[in-house]
Amino acid sequence: MRVNAYAAPSAGQPLAPTTIERREVGANDVLIAVDYAGICHSDIHTVNGDWGPQPFPVVPGHEIVGTVTEVGSDVARHAVGDRVGVGCMVKSCGTCDNCRNGDEQYCRDGMVGTYAATDRDGTTTQGGYSTHVVVDADYVLSVPESLDAAAAAPLLCAGITTYSPLKHWQAGPGKRVAVVGLGGLGHMAVKIAHAMGAEVTVLSQSLKKQEDGLRLGADHYFATSDPDTFEALASSFDLIINTVSAKIDVSAYLGLLAVNGAMVNVGAPAEPLSLNVFSLLSNRRTFAGSMIGGIAETQEMLDFCAEHGIVSEVEVIAADQVNEAYERVLASDVRYRFVIDTSTLG
């Protein structure tokens, strides 16, 4: 079927309306009418070529919430009319040790990304900035009805990408967690870490968003443009989640970790990050990374968010505002996630 979409025609070019082909619904597939699609900074890195060449035209979008309109003959877990979500991954081998452990994002055959990736049938995947998507049922999540659909969309990437490391590194009561960057991922990290019971500090470039940060669940808020911040907070955190989309001075942030503390990088800037190893040796610190989360863990995160009434702070936009939204994200002027109302795709 031919559906309306918004695509980047080539690297760095503005997105424009187009149509794309969706495959026929296979036995284990679900056809989803997309209601909302979040704008992740990864969409911008991809279409701007920050991460290397891409199979243009690219339809981004991996924070999808929609309604099931058709299911294949073998699908039992989703039914027509269900409210569902799709995140960053639409397929993996399902049989390797990582897939079997629920870490499909680290599939040994490589997970298939929701867009700009080569699917198992050789076609290129196209994402959620479109009216419909066909996805293997095993990679489709159930989105609790109690969550607002538009505000739930960012949970599918920003939510799971922060939930997974917060859980893995045991954020909870008695843990001092710092979140670097109060953007899409950062504001979800604040809400989720707070709900897990951790003491949460935001480290933002300025104090412009301090009131918001405290309202979202942070206990403390500091500006990283103020050099005193790094002295005042030296050796004071158990866990730092870095969500910054640009290069930062990693060693300076490592200095904020207490003994056995870990700094987890989820930000994925174009440029390599460097560090002074002495900032790791001291206090037996860890510098780590984490990529999204597995399917079962994503469902667990959605259920956790429903239980705690957590959604993203969103600004819902029409499709023709996408390019302007990209500019605002690049200027750190997002509060805190843009979400496309896909009914505006015509």
The CB-of-219 to ligand NAP minimum distance in angstroms stands at 16
Residue type at 117 in one-letter notation? A
Q: Is 267 in the site for ligand NAP (CB under 6 A)?
A: yes
- Tell me: does residue 184 bind ligand NAP (CB under 6 A): yes
Q: Which does 185 bind (CB under 5 to 8 A by kind): Zn ion, ligand NAP, none?
A: ligand NAP
The listed partner (Zn ion, ligand NAP, none) that binds 232, CB under 5 to 8 Å by sort, is: none
Encoding tokens for residue 210? 């301090």
Query: Are residues 8 and 47 in contact, defined by beta-carbon separation less than 8 angstroms?
Result: yes
Considering the complex, state which of residue 84 and residue 266 has its C-beta at the smaller distance from ligand NAP.
266
Report in angstroms how near the CB of residue 101 gets to ligand NAP at its nearest.
Answer: 18
The two structure tokens encoding residue 214 = 């405290």
Q: For residue 88, what are the CA distances in angstroms to 40, 145, 160, 174, 203?
A: 10, 21, 10, 32, 26
Q: Which does 329 bind (CB under 5 to 8 A by kind): ligand NAP, Zn ion, none?
A: ligand NAP
Residues 6+ apart with CB under 8 A from 307: none
CA distance 155 to 88: 11
Rounded least distance, CB 237 to ligand NAP, Å: 17
| Among residues 245, 279, 298, 312, the one that binds ligand NAP under rule CB under 6 A | 245
Question: 143 to 182, contacts with ligand NAP by CB under 6 A?
Answer: 157-158, 161, 181-182
* Residue 145: Cβ within 10 Å count: 11
Q: How far is the CB of 176 from ligand NAP (least distance, A)?
A: 19
Residue 60, φ and ψ in degrees, nearest 5: -75, -175
Pairing of strands 141-142, 83-86: antiparallel
Q: Which of residues 19-58 bind Zn ion (CB under 5 A)?
A: 40, 42
Closer Cβ to ligand NAP, 17 or 227, answer by number: 227
The residues near 286 (Cβ < 8 Å, ≥ 6 apart) are 260, 261, 262, 263, 280
Q: In the bound complex, what is the minimum distance in angstroms from residue 249's beta carbon to ligand NAP? A: 9
Q: In the chain, what is the straight-line distance between the N-terminal and C-terminal CA atoms, in Å?
A: 15
Could you give the CA distance from residue 239 to residue 237 in angstroms, rounded to a whole number? Answer: 6
Subset of residues 36 to 55 that bind ligand NAP, contact rule: CB under 6 A: 40-42, 45
266 binds ligand NAP (CB under 6 A): yes
Kindly tell me which of 131 and 217 has the beta carbon lying closer to ligand NAP.
Answer: 217
